Amino acid sequence: MSYDTAKAAFAEWGVDTEAALARLATIPISMHCWQGDDVVGFEKKTGSSGGGIQATGNHPGRARTPDELRADLEFAYSMIPGKHRLNLHAMYMDTDESPDRDEIEYRHFAPWVDWAKAQGIGLDFNPTFFAHAKADDNLTLSHPDKGIRDFWIEHGKRTRDIAARIGSELGSVCVNNIWVPDGYKDIPVDRMAARQRLEASLDEMLAPEQDPALTLDAVESKLFGIGVEACTVGSHEFYMGYAIRKGTLLCLDMGHFHPTENIADKLSAVALSLPQILLHVSRPMRWDSDHVILQNDDILAMAQELVSADLLDRTFIGLDFFDATISRTAAWVIGVRNMQKALLRALLMPWDRLRTAENTLDFTARLTLTEEFKDLPFGAIWAAYCDRLGRPTGLALMGELEAYQARVASRG
Ligand code: RNT
Ligand code: ZN
């Protein structure tokens, strides 16, 4: 179907496809570096990701160096319409030195910033509180040992300085997201003490003031992880309270709640108490499995809430999945494009009609509208968007993804 025909079909319902496309073009998605190498990173040591997160699979082509990862990223961005961001973890330092986590400095990440400048993209950042000998007990900022806590507090402080410098170099605020794996495999007897230690460590880490125009702190809660089934110190209630009291962003990861909880529903609720939110858009399957995101009901509902509740301007959209059983570059491209497609679908909804139906208690009309709208020719609008921005769709996209994968498959 031609774009013009599709445009007319939406216009019949009072929906302006040009306005939707113009809005979509302003929404950056923060693409996570760790899908490119199975959350391994570039520190001069090996080890599993740890912390209860796990990339499974051994598909050929894993990026082994920063240069390989950047090449893969450049390819992925070239398949995604619009300008986006890169979300970097501290373990992805690019340096010949071997700084420990409490020794990292801006210079260890400067090549990433030079690259981001050349690409014209923004960067986000994360301290890495896992995959390290001092995190082997799955206790970091809440560890009973002050020496271990201090080590991780120093790590976190340094990442905040680095994030601020990144924000200033790139002229774009760098969100620094704090996720710690801390928890207990079996039932703890003093949850309160662990949570008090986590809170005190966070307070100390966040005490130095940073310019909010350069960097913003976010805190990410979790339900449970492998090896920390009985108690996660940084639970949802813990961090929601913390973020509200201390003025950080709250990061909602879609894999970090009970499987039947509706994460989209939480947005408007937390947004009443928090000026800004960070999302880790992910797809849990039975657990926090971090599957590549689909255009499924969860993602569509999330995008609809962002649009309907007018939260796009105060929500940072980051992705968080890692699948090593398929082409890693394809995983990025499919995931980011699905997030964009979900947003576009939401931007193409007849919101005025829907709201009127709801507010007049005409739930029949509301249901008719949402269901009839699923039949509208969304695909033609998306294809036109990709075409205008020089990005392939359909078989052409498939060919590009396969050709790139074939090029990297020989990596050892
Ligand atoms: C882990 C969290 C966290 C990580 C990344 C690598 O469960 O979701 O966000 O996935 O920091
Ligand atoms: Zn996450």
Give 113-144 pLDDT, tens digit per residue: 999 999 999 999 999 999 999 999 999 999 99
- Please confirm, yes or no, whether 117 is among the known catalytic residues: no
With 0-12 / 13-18 / 19 or more C-beta atoms within 10 angstroms meaning exposed / middle / buried, residue 106 is: middle
Q: What is the pLDDT of residues 258-275, one digit of tens each?
A: 999 999 999 999 999 999
Of the candidates 124, 217, 220, 305, the residue annotated as catalytic is 220
Res 50: pLDDT: 75
Cβ–ligand 1 distance for 232 under 6 Å, the answer no
Q: What is the pLDDT of residues 230-254, one digit of tens each?
A: 999 999 999 999 999 999 999 999 9
- Please confirm, yes or no, whether 155 is among the known catalytic residues: no
Whole-number Å distance, alpha carbon 232 to ligand 2 midpoint, is: 14
What tokens does 179 get?
């996720």
* Strand partners for 184: 231
Rounded mean pLDDT of the chain?
97
Ligand nearest, relative to CA of residue 280: 2
Those residues whose C-beta lies under 8 Å from the C-beta of residue 249, and which sit 6 or more positions away, are: 175, 177, 216, 217, 218, 219, 243, 274, 276, 277, 278, 316
Whole-number Å distance, alpha carbon 253 to ligand 2 midpoint, is: 5
Which string of b and e fits 313-338 if b means at least 16 CB within 10 Å? Answer: eebbbbbbbbbbeebbbbbbbbbbbb
Ligand nearest, relative to CA of residue 35: 1
- Which residue has its alpha carbon closest to ligand 1 atom 10? 320
Q: What is the pLDDT of residues 157-180, one digit of tens each?
A: 999 999 999 999 999 999 999 999
Those residues whose C-beta lies under 8 Å from the C-beta of residue 368, and which sit 6 or more positions away, are: none
Angstrom distance (rounded) from CA 297 to CA 358 = 20
**Sign (positive or negative) of CA dihedral 18, 23, 26, 30:** negative
- Hey, what amino acid is at 117? K
Q: Where are the alpha helices (DSSP H) in 13-138?
A: 17-24, 66-78, 110-119
69 near 92, Cβ under 8 Å?
yes
- Which residue has its alpha carbon closest to ligand 1 atom 2? 179
Whole-number Å distance, alpha carbon 301 to ligand 1 midpoint, is: 22
Strands annotated E in 116-263: 122-126, 174-178, 183-184, 215-220, 231-232, 249-253
Those residues whose C-beta lies under 8 Å from the C-beta of residue 405, and which sit 6 or more positions away, are: 61, 327, 329, 330
Domain boundaries, the chain: 27-353
- Please confirm, yes or no, whether 43 is among the known catalytic residues: no
Which string of b and e fits 241-270 if b means at least 16 CB within 10 Å? Answer: ebbeeeebbbbbbbbbbeeeeebbebbeeb
Does residue 313 register a pLDDT over 70? yes
Average pLDDT over residues 315-342: 98
Q: Which of 233, 235, 129 is nearest to 188 (CA)?
A: 233
Residue for token digits 């031609």? 2
Q: What is the pLDDT of residues 37-93, one digit of tens each?
A: 999 999 986 556 677 788 999 999 999 999 999 999 999 999 999 999 999 999 999
- Please confirm, yes or no, whether 38 is among the known catalytic residues: no
For ligand 2, a single-atom ion, the residues with CB < 5 A are 253, 280, 320
Cβ–ligand 1 distance for 130 under 6 Å, the answer no
- Please confirm, yes or no, whether 190 is among the known catalytic residues: no
Fold of 27-353: TIM Barrel (3.20.20)
Of the candidates 7, 222, 236, 341, the residue annotated as catalytic is 222
Cβ–ligand 1 distance for 320 under 6 Å, the answer yes
- Which residue has its alpha carbon closest to ligand 1 atom 3? 179
Res 47: pLDDT: 57
Angstrom distance (rounded) from CA 3 to CA 9 = 10
- Using DSSP's 3-state secondary structure scheme, residue 222 falls into coil
- Please confirm, yes or no, whether 310 is among the known catalytic residues: no
173 near 216, Cβ under 8 Å?
yes
Angstrom distance (rounded) from CA 31 to CA 46 = 24
Cβ–ligand 1 distance for 222 under 6 Å, the answer yes
- Please confirm, yes or no, whether 320 is among the known catalytic residues: yes
Angstrom distance (rounded) from CA 86 to CA 26 = 16
